[in-house]
Amino acid sequence: MTQNELNRFQAALTARVAELERVTRRRDDITVERNADQLDEIQAASQRTLAVYNLDREFNQLREARAAIRRFQEGGFGICQECEDDIHPKRLAAAPWALYCIRCQEAADRNLGEHEAASRDLLGRAA
Ligand SMILES: [Zn+2]
């Protein structure tokens, strides 16, 4: 990896953290409203569930981006946290916060896929 690439990744990560910090701050106002209309209330409840789910995901992304910046400072940026192979520069260009090489990420995504399916079930029941 060239110093130029490193600089670019670091700039992208810093921008990403700033963006996510702004988004997650705005979500502080997930409110609990009581509605007279039962249908509205059901709708509001499922929107809250969705908002909490999105917030959770954004906080995870924020944590990953911050961890990647820490790896810049402490060393280990661009190294898979699972198998310690180099993460492909093209992958880093698309996702500089990536923790894993594509092979380990795909393995993790398969587990996450099941988790997300479970969350959708939950939303389906709330709606
Ligand atoms: Zn790996």
* Cα 25 off chain centre by: 15
- Residue 104's domain comprises 3-126
> Residue 55 belongs to a domain with what CATH number?
1.20.120.910
- Asked if the model's pLDDT at residue 91 lies above 90, the reply is yes
Q: How far is the CA of 109 from the centre of ligand 1 (A)?
A: 13
Q: What is the mean pLDDT of the chain?
A: 84
Q: What is the pLDDT of residues 27-82, one digit of tens each?
A: 656 666 666 677 888 888 888 898 888 889 999 999 999 999 999 889 889 999 99
What DSSP string runs through 8-58?
HHHHHHHHHHHHHHHHHHHGGG------SSHHHHHHHHHHHHHHHHHHHHH
Lowest mean pLDDT among 1-5, 10-14, 15-19, 117-121: 117-121
Looking at residue 127, its pLDDT comes to: 47
Split into its structural domains, the chain has a count of: 1
Q: How far is the CA of 102 from the centre of ligand 1 (A)?
A: 7
Supply the pTM of this predicted model.
Answer: 0.69
d(CA 119, CA 125): 10
CA–CA distances in Å: residue 103 to residues 88, 110, 111, 117: 11, 11, 13, 22
Looking at residue 92, its pLDDT comes to: 92
- Asked if the model's pLDDT at residue 105 lies above 50, the reply is yes
Q: How far is the CA of 65 from the centre of ligand 1 (A)?
A: 18
What residues contact residue 90 under an 8 Å CB cut-off, 6+ apart?
none
Query: What φ, ψ does residue 79 adopt, rounded to 5°?
Result: -110, 130
